[in-house]
Amino acid sequence: MERMVVLMSGGLNGVVAASRMLANVELHFLHVDYGQAAAKSERLAVARISTALAGKLHVADLPRFDRNGMPGPGGAVDAKRPTSNERVLETRPSGVMLAILALAQQLAAQVGAEDIVCGASEACSRSDAEAGFCSPAADGRRAFFHACSIALEMGSPSAKRMSLELPFIDVSREDIIRTGLRLGAPLPMTWSCHAGGEAPCGSCAGCRSRAAAFEMLGLDDPALAAATR
C-alpha cells in the first residue's frame, strides 16, 4: 500500500488534502508544536481528525530560540486571548516551515513514504493579505515551495526520491471548502484559530479569513457550530 506523509495543523487545507487521498493510501499525519499559542487546541483537533480519517498521527516538538538566542524546549507558549480590539501575532517564527518540511522528510524516510502532502495555498495567503487579515506569508508562496521541493529531492537517497505535493497551492479557500464538502471531509473537527482555547476567538486572521470564506459560500462554519454545542 502506498504511504504518504500529510502536514496537519488542524486547519481546513490539510484536512481536505488528506480527504482527497483516502483510497488505498496509508496516511501518516505530522503535527508540529513550534511554540504556537494554539498548539494544544490544534493537537486535540488533529487527534480527532486522525481518528476520523484512519490515519497514523505523529507529533513533533520543535525547539525554539528565546529572545537572547538561547535554545529552549518546544511546546506551546501562553497567550492572552484577544479582545475585539486586539489580534494574535499572525506570523510563524522565521524558518519554521523549512524545519517542518525537514521533519516530514525524516518521517517519510522512516515510514517508507515517497510523497509529502502540504495544504499550503498561495491563493489563500494572497487573498488574506488583500483583505487585511494578515501580511503576505513569504513561506506560503509557490516559489518557496518549488525551492523546497528541489531541496527535498536532492536531499533524498537516489533510490527513493521524495516529492512534495501541493494540491491547493493555486486554489481559493472557498474552492477548498467546496472540495471538502463534496468529499465529506470532517470540517467540523478542524481548528484555524491562532489564539487557542476551548472555542475559536473569532478575532484572529485564522478565524476571520475562514469565516469570510464560509460567508461567501452562504454557509455557516461547521466548526463554530460544533464549538457552541
Q: For residue 23, what pLDDT is reported? A: 85
**pLDDT per position as a tens digit, 129-187:** 888 888 878 899 999 999 999 999 888 876 677 899 999 999 999 999 999 999 999 99
Q: Which of 29, 39, 206 is nearest to 224 (CA)?
A: 206
More confident of the two residues 75 and 35: 35
Q: Which residues pair with 56 in a beta bridge?
A: 28
Question: In this predicted structure, what is the pLDDT of residue 227?
Answer: 63
CA distances to 77, 108, 117, 186, 214 from 167, rounded to whole Å, are: 31, 18, 8, 18, 20
pLDDT digits (tens, 9 = 90+) for 98-143: 999 999 999 999 999 999 999 999 999 998 888 888 887 889 999 9
pLDDT of residue 89: 44
Q: What is the pLDDT of residue 102?
A: 96
Pairwise CA distance, residues 120 & 33, whole Å: 17
Q: Tell me the whole-structure pTM to 2 decimals.
A: 0.88
Instruction: Output DSSP code: residue 13.
Output: H
pLDDT tens-place string over residues 40-85: 999 999 999 999 999 999 999 998 776 666 666 554 443 444 444 3
Q: What is the mean pLDDT of residues 83-96?
A: 58
Domains and CATH numbers, the chain: 2-227 (3.40.50.620)
The Cα 216–Cα 174 span in angstroms is 8
Cell of 101: 518540511
CA distance 32 to 48: 16
Q: Could you tell me the three cell numbers for 152? A: 527535498
Q: Please answer whether residues 119 and 173 qualify as being in contact, where contact means their C-beta atoms are separated by less than 8 angstroms.
A: no
